[in-house]
Each structure stands twice: as structure tokens, then as C-alpha cells.
Structure 1
Amino acid sequence: MSASPSPRTASAPDGAAARRFDLERHDALIAFVQTRAGRCCLLLAALAAVAPHFGGIAALAAVAGAMAAAAWPARRGAILFGLTWISALLNTSLGEVDTADNIRAVLQQEQIAPSMGTMLSLGFLCLLFAVMLSMLRHVQKRPQSLLARRPLLTLLSVQALLCAVGSFGLLNGWPRALLWSAVFVFAPYLWFLPFAIADLRSRAPSPLAMQMATLRPFWSPSYLPFGKGAAFLRKHLSLTPMELTVTQIKGLKLLIWANLLFILRDVLMRVFADGAGIPDPHDAIDALLAGHAYPAVIGWAALVLATATYALQVAAWADLFIGIARLAGYRLPRGSWRPLEARTLMDYFNRFHYYFKELLVDLFFMPTFFRMFRAHPRLRMFFATFMAAGVGNAVWHFSRNLLEVAVAGPANAFASYTSYLFYALVLAIGVGLSQVRANRGMRPSSSFTGRLGSFVFVWSFIVCIHIFGDGTRVHTLGQRFKFMASLFGVTV
């Protein structure tokens, strides 16, 4: 899997038009932002951009904390550490993440008062903190242990074992509720720990406090490591006052851009979904199954609109998270970089969701590439790409919804996941073949016709498979195939 065109942090090309938007190139603005009044203006503008999406208190903590970490580099680690774990505690207690809700669902199954959900989530979060700290210390002392050498495999095995114990009738009542509480609290951190472990095994790792500070950092309380781990952040840290100011201005620009993307998403929904009456694809499937299908042109419009709004939402949230990280002084690449310019499926995969691609490359592609099929370069490249875009993609998304395993059981959970498995399979084959073609020097023409053809091919492919990979489990794989066939005039 190629190293990408990674999302850019540099300014656009020179030119009068470009300079009007490249605020970080204006010396007067840079000088103003370095003053106390300028920093206050930067904080207020960033707060206005973040508050609609984080909420007032959380936005103030994130923006002010990020700028405080940048302003006092000697205390950066302590500030990040405090913000990350205070954010984790507050998000859990205020229900801003799904952990407490998932625990309440299991409590209801076991006929235990759901009000215990918040207390359990907070308690297990504190316990998990101690466990993860012990794990990282273990890696420091024993860098050749199984956890140190195979962190992802070890952690996934532990998670699978816990899920199995909680799913096959071995536990009931409080023991089962406690076990699933531990699973739900641990699940998001599984994808951050391998980066911390890899850094601790390097020659010059960040200290333990910094490793803990970057486990689900405060700027992105999600399952995906935006900014990866301490090593990546250390590499992208702004080192001079000028560099810091430029990075923060770019962060504010990215926050504003994220809001524009959110607005565009909402406008598309209001104009086409509400105004023009274009249905959600799942409503269109329901109509087809009920015997009064929408015309094919409406079905295609529904699929295109769903793909567009999904792409805008992914890009907007990614840019919002990275914008806050840049306020803290980290020159991180953007989360999404002009995916409409993708000329191949590999190019699309690199551009569309940069940090998800990086996670798959680091945790699935690289280990496979360096161990498998060394005597067969093309097969080696294809298989490593398949493991990342297919297997890694499917595993990550499945681990995000372990509630389905707890409530419906493993068999039903896997059965309802077949649509995404099909999506991951098709995407992996497409991206893998695209990667092999690129390595053989087979690239699209740079002419206008060539670029147009590449755009039509890439986005036709993405639109057609979106109905299988939207992450919902409402309809079966067969029902989605029936809908897609109807769009091509085929009655199944």
C-alpha cells in the first residue's frame, strides 16, 4: 500500500488568488496572533467553530487546553495528560460516548437497574487506566514479550476471549454485566495501545505520561487515532514560535472549513432529501420490499446523496479533530484531502480517510508485507493491501459495535454484518488491484479525458458499493443486492 499522497499541511502554490486564502503567509497576521490580543481572538474564533459540535464546556476545555499546551511547552505533557483523562471521565459520565449506553443495554438484559451504567463505566475506566499503565510498563521492562512484539494480535485475542465468555451462557446476572462493562470500556483503546507499544520499543520513546496522554486524546474521543500516537505527534511538533503560529492559524482555517462542510452536508439534505423528496436508501429498500419501489432514477439519486453526505461528514469530523490538534502545536496532516481528485481506487483510499488508512497500513499492511510471499512481489503487495483494506477494515468496524454481540449473540451479530463484510471484500480487491497496477507503472492518463474517466470510474465504484458499507445492519445482504439490481432494471 503506497505511502499516499498524504493530506497536506503546506500552503497552496504561490499566486495572488492563493495568497488571499493562505492567511498563514501574511506577516502582519502572524505578528498579531503572537500578541496577547491575537491569541485571545484565535481562541474565541476557534471556540465559535468547535462549540456547535462539542458543546460549550467541552469545546472550551478542548480549545483552551490545546492552546495552553502550545503556550507552555515545558508543561505540554502534563496538560495533554490532564485534558485527555478529564475528557474521558466527563464524556463517559455525561453520555457523550456510547460506553455507558452499551452497559445500560446489558444491564437491562440482566434485569439490573440501568442507572448503574454510568457508575460502572466510570469505575472500569479508572481500572482500565491502571491496567494500561501496567501494560506499558511491562513492555518497557520486557520488550521481547508477546504483548510487545504482537500487540494488536494479543489485544484482539483478549477482546475475543472476553466476548466469548460473555456470550455463550457461561455467566449471568452481575458477573456478565461486569464482564461486558469491561469489554465496552476497553474496546476504543485497543486501537491506540499498539502505537504506544511500538513507540516504547523504539530507541528514543516518549515518556509513559505522554503515552497515556495520547490514548484517545482529548481532541478526538473516537475509536480512531487521529494523530496516531506519541511518536507521530513528536515528529510533527512545531518547534519555533513562528512555526507554532503558522500551525495554529492553519488549525483555525481547518476548523472553519469543517464547519463549511457540515453546512454543505445539511444544505444537501435540506434541498434534496427534504425539498426534492429524495429518500434515504434504506427507505428506498423498504419501499422495494413492500412492492411499491421508487423509480430507478430516484434510487440512484438516493444512493448518490447518501454517499455525498457520508463523505462530507467523514471529512468534516476529521478536519475538526485535526484543527484542534493543530491548535496544540502539532503540524498534523489533514484527515481528508480532496478525494474528488482521486484518479485510482488506491488514490481514493489514501485521500478519503487518511488516519484510518494509516491505522490499517501500520497495523495490518506492514506486518503482512514484511512476513508473507517475499518471493512473489505482486502477490505480496496485493495480499498485504487486501489484509489492510479488507480484513483490517472489517475487524475495526466490527469492534466498534460489540453491543450487537452482547445483545443478539455472536451468530446473529456476524449474520447482520455480512453486508459490510461484502463491502470490505469488494473494496479490498479493488484497492489491491489498483495498487498492483500502480506498482507496474500503469497509471491513468493525465489528459482531461483521462482525468474525467478516472473520476467517473472511481466514484461510480464508491457509489455502487456504498449501500453495502454504510455501517447499518437494518437490511440483509440479499435485500441490498435486490435493491442494487433494481437500479439496473433487473428484477430479482
Structure 2
Amino acid sequence: MSINRLTQFHEDPVVIAWWQARLGTALTWCTPGRRRTAPAIAAVVAGVIRPVREMARADDLPVPSDWLGLASLVLALFAILWLVYQAAVHFRSLPASVRRHPQISLHLLYWGGLALLWLTVPSAGAWRELLLGIAIIFPYLIWRCGYLLLSGQYGRAASTRFVDQLIPLWPAFGGSNTPYGKGLDYLSKCEARSDEELARSQLAGIKLVILGLLWDAAMRLMERTFYGPENAIPRLDQLVAQGGQAPFLASWASLYCELVWQVLRHAAHGHVIIGTLRLFGFNVFRNTYKPLLSESILEFWNRYYYYFKELMANFFFLPTFTQLGRRLRNWPRLRLLAAVFAAAFVGNMYYHLLNMETLVAQGYVFEAVYTLRSRFFYCFLLAIGIYVSMRRQQNRGGKPLAAGHLARIGRIFGVWTFFALIFIWNVRSSAPFLARVEFFLSLFGFA
């Protein structure tokens, strides 16, 4: 058996036929409706466990802590999700301003709740504790609610059940504030409809789970052997704190090691999540797909963290690009630049500001923004890089890239270097902005 056939076993007709033969009755019984039952029940459980866990972490704040307060919080969150679902189902009945700008309306409601928190004292009562709990949890839900409203905007939510919508709203399969698998629309689009499709999806899921475990092992091996504290190559967060005093060769080695480590981290985490979805028949796209083989910045951006890229594209890039169609019809480059910056810079920063939910909920918005000061520069460089990459792709006009192994290696190395360098301003470190600048300059002998 060839290596390619072994690694692509989930697409091998012989393996698929064997899987169907062994699980034929079970595959036939597991219709899409029945398959959704388990993740839907798990979603309800996750909708209880996650708020309780988050409140335990925020026990130093005036948040619900007794069983009555926690029960009220869980019920309030489910009620909010049900109201968003009703808004999506009856989208055409919403006020005209909300129909035109559903995402902005959703976020304004959240910020309105935050404003009410800021204007009241912590001792205002149980209602404020409940509101603070909602404010801390809701950034996890807000983008998922956004996908639900998007479904309503396109008229697809009316035919769905609330219990099915809970699968991506409270995902028991894991994830972050970024919705892996997007919303129910995308999950349904990728859902297996036949025994063969289910077999393919499950085999692909098994492969991803195995890969996720392998990449996690590779990441840990990397940490224990040559990259990390007390190893030959220090971690990047340690070196940037040294500014211009960081050792030259170790700095360059750490840059590339950090890039590889971050890719392994995203792949290990995302593969298990997507693999789990595929086991239930949702044959969705991977979160991370060979980004280290990318030959352009744009390609890397698409492959590295797919569902974050999709979030930025759906809620920032596409709306900006569409709405500027008439105004900038004669300036297509400016239109593209504005849309790219709306996603890679503005949307990226806003997403990470919401991720600092505890600070924001307490009213420390400026402190949260100041904490993200280095990321501002990272997002700016990222947006510039993506725009230039898109323009180069457009100028090429569909012509193939230069052939040859050396040319391809050169392009891949250039992509590695770009992302490794800009990550100086994104790596989590106590280093201030200027120390990161000094570290960057020292790489080229200027500090």
C-alpha cells in the first residue's frame, strides 16, 4: 500500500465499502435527524456547564454565585438565544433599520447592556449580577448569534428548529469565541445525506482526530527537546522582552519555531473539533489545512485559521466590499483596500477587544485597548500584507506561478518570513511595544 493511499484512507473506495459493510445497519439508522439528537442534547448540557464554569472563574467579581443566581443566568442566556432565533425566523417582520443592519443592531444591544453596567454601582442588586454574568458570557455567543441572524436575513432560518440551532450556538464539540463550523446553515450544507456520504465523513473525522493527536504530540515534543524554556532555542515571548539585547541567531531560530508551533497548536486543537463534527456527519472544512505550504500571504491567511478568516470575511469584508460598490465603483483598488482593512484590521481588533470580556464588562475599555496596543500594529501589517497579496494575484490574471522547486521554496520561505516577523507584535509577552520594535530592528543589525 502506497503512502498516499494510506494517508488518504478516508477516500479509498475499498475502505469506504468495508466501513459500510461493518456498520451498514447503524449507518442506515443514523438519519440526519437522529444524528442531530446527541449534539443537541450535549449543547443543552454545555449551555449549563459553561456559564457555571465561567462564573466560578470570575468569583472575585459581583456575579451570580449561588444556585438561584446561576440558574437565572443559564435561563437568561437560553432566553436570549431563543429571542435571537425568533428574530431570525421572523426576520422580515423586524423594524426596517434592524433588517438593514442586523449585525450592528445585535452588537449595539450588547454595548447598551454594557453601558447600563457602567452606569450602576456593583451593589445595585441581583439584577446587576445577572447582567454582569451575561456580559461576560455573551462574547462567546455573539458571533454565533450573528450567523443565526445571517441565516434569517437570507430566509433560511424559518425552516429550522431551535433545538438544532443550539448545536452551533452552544457547541459541545469545543471551540473558542470563533464558531468552528460557522452556523447551522453551513453545517446543514455539509451534512451527509446517504450511507456512503456518512461513511466518508466519519472516516475523514477519524483521520482528523488522529492527526490532531499527532500534531499535539509533535508540539509537545518540540517544547521538550529544542524550543522553549531551558532549551537551545528560547520561546519568542522571552526574547522579545529582551529587546535589542536578544541573541541574533537564537532570535531568528525562535521566529520560525514560533510560527511552526502556532500552526501545530491550531491544527491540534481544530482537527479534534472538526473531526468530532465529521463523526456526526457534518463533513465541514478543516480549520487548519497545510498553511506551511502556502505560496502567498493570502493563501496562508485562508489556510491557517479558516473559521476566523470566515468570520472576518462574513461580518466585515463582504459587507464593506458590497456597501462600497456604488460609491467606489471607479476606484476598485480603494474599495478592496477598505474591505481588507475592515476585516484584517478593524474586525480583527474588535474581535479581540470583545475577547477581553471581563475588563470590558467592568468598564475598563481604554485599559483593554491599551493592552492590545501591539496587536494594533500586527493587524495593520497583516492587512497590508493581505492587500498586497490580493493585488499581486489580480495582476497575475490567472497566470501560473513560476515553475520549479527552487521558485516554490522561495515563495514558501517568503510567506514564512512575513508571518514570523509580524508575529513579533502578536506574541503574548510582557514586552512593551518599543521593546518589540527594538527586537525587530536587532534582527537586521540596527539595534
**Separation in 2, partners of 1:480, 1:166:** 36
**Separation in 1, partners of 2:412, 2:312:** 24
Does 1:413 find its partner at 2:363?
A: no
Residue of structure 2 in register with 1:171 after alignment: 121
Gaps of 5+ in 1: 1-14, 41-66, 108-113
Conserved in 2, the CA contact under 8 Å of 1:345 and 1:458? yes
Deviations 1:331-361, CA, capped at 9 Å, x for gaps: 1111111111211111111111111111111
Q: If the length of structure 1 is used for normalisation, what is the TM-score?
A: 0.81
**Separation in 2, partners of 1:353, 1:213:** 21
**Separation in 1, partners of 2:272, 2:28:** 18
Residue of structure 1 in register with 2:79 after alignment: 130
Deviations 1:45-84, CA, capped at 9 Å, x for gaps: xxxxxxxxxxxxxxxxxxxxxx999824333444332221
Gaps of 5+ in 2: none
**Separation in 2, partners of 1:315, 1:486:** 31
Conserved in 2, the CA contact under 8 Å of 1:124 and 1:181? yes
Q: CA deviation at 1:155?
A: 2.1
SS at match of 2:181: coil
Conserved in 2, the CA contact under 8 Å of 1:385 and 1:428? yes
Question: Aligned pairs, how many?
Answer: 435
Residue of structure 1 in register with 2:5 after alignment: 19
**Separation in 2, partners of 1:346, 1:414:** 27
Instruction: Trace 1:82-481 onto structure 2 (pairs within 5 A).
Output: 82-93=41-52, 95=53, 99-101=54-56, 103-107=58-62, 116=65, 120=69, 123-143=72-92, 144-145=94-95, 146-167=97-118, 170-175=120-125, 177-205=129-157, 206-209=159-162, 210-272=164-226, 273-274=228-229, 276-288=231-243, 293-372=245-324, 373-406=328-361, 409-441=364-396, 444-470=401-427, 472=428, 474-481=430-437
CA 408–166 in structure 1, closer or farther in 2 if over 3 Å, else same: closer
AA paired with 1:83?
A
CA 287–402 in structure 1, closer or farther in 2 if over 3 Å, else same: same
SS at match of 1:239: coil
**RMSD (Å) for aligned C-alpha atoms:** 2.8
Q: CA deviation at 1:405?
A: 2.9
Residue of structure 2 in register with 1:51 after alignment: none
AA paired with 1:81?
A
**Separation in 2, partners of 1:307, 1:119:** 46
Q: CA deviation at 1:234?
A: 1.2
- Is 410-419 or 147-156 further displaced after alignment? 147-156
CA 177–90 in structure 1, closer or farther in 2 if over 3 Å, else same: closer
**Separation in 1, partners of 2:67, 2:267:** 31
**Separation in 1, partners of 2:178, 2:67:** 23
**Separation in 2, partners of 1:105, 1:424:** 32
SS at match of 1:480: helix
AA paired with 1:453?
G
Q: CA deviation at 1:165?
A: 3.8
CA 39–278 in structure 1, closer or farther in 2 if over 3 Å, else same: farther
Conserved in 2, the CA contact under 8 Å of 1:104 and 1:117? no
- Is 240-249 or 179-188 further displaced after alignment? 179-188
AA paired with 1:448?
H
Q: CA deviation at 1:246?
A: 1.2
**Separation in 2, partners of 1:313, 1:119:** 38
Conserved in 2, the CA contact under 8 Å of 1:84 and 1:217? yes
AA paired with 2:49?
L
Conserved in 2, the CA contact under 8 Å of 1:148 and 1:197? no
**Separation in 1, partners of 2:241, 2:426:** 17
Does 1:488 find its partner at 2:444?
A: yes
CA 74–158 in structure 1, closer or farther in 2 if over 3 Å, else same: closer
AA paired with 2:90?
K
- Is 395-404 or 440-449 further displaced after alignment? 440-449
Conserved in 1, the CA contact under 8 Å of 2:256 and 2:420? yes
Question: Equivalent pairs: percent with the same residue?
Answer: 25
**Separation in 2, partners of 1:381, 1:434:** 12
**Separation in 1, partners of 2:382, 2:29:** 40
